[in-house]
Every structure is written in C-alpha cells, then in structure tokens.
Amino acid sequence: MKCQKCDKLATFHITDLSGDQLLALHLCAECVKEYLQPDETPPPAAKVVSNVISKQLKLEQTTEELAELDHKECPVCGISFYEFRQGGRLGCPNDYVFFANELEPLLNNVHGSVEHVGKKPMRGPHDTQPQTELIKLRREMKDAVDREDYELASELRDRIKSVEGESQP
C-alpha cells in the first residue's frame, strides 16, 4: 500500500479517533512523523502577549485584584485592561502611560528592557503625550453627536481645531 501523502510505501496504519469521525490513515515513516508532530509555528505576537500577561497576573494578583484591574479603563481611548489582555493589542499611545505598571513586567519579559536606546524623531516633540488629548476630544465629540448634544459637539469641534493647529508639523 502506498502512503497517502507521498508515493512511498505506507508502513504505518493509523486510526485517528480525535475528530468527529474515525479516520483511517496509511502513511510512510516520514509522513507519519509530520502527522504526529505537526510543524510548530510560533504563535502570533498578540497571543504571546496575552499568554505572558495571564501568567504574570496569576502569579501576582488575587482574584479580586484581578477583577478590579480588568475593569480599569484608559480615559483617552476607553479600552479596558481586560480587552487588552484578551486581544494583546493596545488602544492608544496613552495606554503605555496609563497601564505603565502593568506593562513593565511584560516589556521586561519580552524585551529584557524598558528603555528605548534607538533613534528619536529629529523634528518636533520627543514626548507626544499632549497630542493624545486629541484622541479624547474626538471621542467625546462623537459621543456628543450620538447623544444629539450639538452644542457640546460644536464646542469640542472648536477645541479640536485649535489643538490640531498647534500640533501641525
């Protein structure tokens, strides 16, 4: 009998019970290795992040502390810590400041460092924290429009215009 994956002689005859149906397989010595130990591709970065955080949290926090931390929300973009640790992606630049304590062990774990030593922008501010104000204002304006509070929305629009004017490169 020939191997189902290549043309060599099938020397392994397997019945796989793991799926919904019985699966009969006839494989050669090489293909069986691949079947039993599929290539391990590294998990995507976001997965790495959420795994490291979960591990780290289990070590350090009680259940109550964890529940409280999960509810913590960034005032700028509104992402909760729970959403971040589930998805592995942050919501805005301000999260690095707002969740600084929670991120530090993660950064140390992934990079072995918490300090950037590379290139800096040649022009403009080396700390763009003030610009995150715009993210917050835009979000508030959208909320105001959704609530049909057009007076507040137009006030916010003017403030956004003026902040935008200051931060133009």
Partner 1 sequence: MIFDEMACRCGEWLRGSGPESDIVMSSRIRLARNLAEYPFIRRCNDFDRVNIEASVRERLEQSGDFEDFTFIDVAELDNLDRQLLVERQLISRELSDAEGARAVAIDEAERISLMINEEDHLRLQVMKSGLDLDEAWQQINAVDNNVEQQLNYAFHPDLGYLTACPTNVGTGMRVSVMLHLPALVIAGQIDKVFNSLQKINLTVRGLYGEGSQAMGDFYQISNQVTLGKSEESLVEHVGSIVPSVISYERKARDVLIKDGNHDLFDQVSRAYGLLQNAQQISSEETMHLLSKVRMGINLGLIGDLEIPEVNKLFIQTQPAHLQKLRGGLPDSANRNRARASYLHRHLKRPKFGEDPAESN
**Which residues form the interface with partner 1 (CB under 8 A)?**
39, 41-46, 48-49, 76-79, 87-93, 96-97, 103, 106-107, 110-129, 131-132, 134-135, 138-139, 142, 164, 167, 169
**Distance between CA 33 and CA 92 in Å, rounded?**
45
For partner 1, which is the closer residue by CB, 13 or 114?
Answer: 114
Report, in Å, the least distance between residue 68 CB and partner 1: 21
Report, in Å, the least distance between residue 77 CB and partner 1: 4
For partner 1, which is the closer residue by CB, 10 or 74?
Answer: 74
Report, in Å, the least distance between residue 4 CB and partner 1: 15
State the Cα angle at 97 between 138 and 155, rounded to 5°. Answer: 20
Centre a 10 Å sphere on the Cβ of residue 85 and count the other Cβ atoms it contains. Answer: 22
For partner 1, which is the closer residue by CB, 13 or 125?
Answer: 125
Report, in Å, the least distance between residue 17 CB and partner 1: 25
For partner 1, which is the closer residue by CB, 64 or 166?
Answer: 166
Cβ burial of 48 (10 Å; 0-12, 13-18, 19+) is middle
